[in-house]
Amino acid sequence: MEEERKEDRWTIESDEIFVISSVNGNNSHGDRLRVFLSPSDDCEYALLATTFHTTSKAPDLPYLKDVPVTIELYGGQLGVMIDFVHPLVGSHVAWVSIWQGQTTDMKEVFTVMNEETDEFEFEVVSTENFQVERYLDLPANRWSLDGSMESLEKAEFLCKRIAADTFL
């Protein structure tokens, strides 16, 4: 299943492993903010992740796997993880996990964000062990929250339907 993507609006897609609710980035359009749900765990857990496209030529960029980085969001800092980096037509894409937990907790987080703001935004910041300017062209992005709750509810429903049909 794949909904037609709409500018600044959350949509749903699925593959053999995940149901994904996502929205395009505003600073870097291709870097979508995604919530992954898995029918194999009965949709009980959700992963919030995004990507960063970069044209950096740092020789160690393709090997940044399981690298901790720091993001600034909502006036504070949070440690997140670069899961892996893969090449993409003369550039690279770094996948970053932001938060993983129970789906009910993810929906609560999105409820609070929707009550307080129209967008989710953060910036990867340099630390002693990670120099942002070495690896990322655009270390900050922001994403619309428009339709995020409806999309998460729909994604969870679809995920549970797939789980019921697949794991009977």
Question: What is the predicted pLDDT for the residue at 44?
Answer: 97
Residue in the structure block whose two tokens are 């995020």:
148
Q: Count Cβ atoms within 10 A of the Cβ of residue 42 and give its class: 0-12 exposed, 13-18 middle, 19 or more buried.
A: middle
Q: What is the pLDDT of residue 168?
A: 57
Using alpha carbons only, give the angle 24, 83, 99 rounded to the nearest 5 degrees. Answer: 65
Written as six digits, the tokens of 42 are 């009965």
Number of H helices, E strands in the chain: 3, 9
42 Cβ neighbours under 8 A, 6+ residues apart: 160, 163, 167
Compute the distance between CA of residue 65 and CA of residue 122 in angstroms, rounded to an integer.
21
Low-confidence ranges of the chain (pLDDT < 50): none
- State the pLDDT at residue 56: 96
Supply the pLDDT for residue 134: 97
Give the model's pLDDT for residue 6: 87
**Regarding beta strands 119-125 and 11-14, do their DSSP bridges make them parallel or antiparallel, or are they unpaired?**
unpaired
Each residue's pLDDT tens digit, 37-47: 999 999 999 99
pLDDT at 166: 82
User: What is the per-residue pLDDT for 167?
Assistant: 65
pLDDT at 156: 97
Query: How confident is the model at residue 115, as a pLDDT?
Result: 95
**Which pTM value belongs to this model?**
0.93
Question: How far is the C-alpha of 71 from the C-alpha of 164, rounded, in Å?
Answer: 37
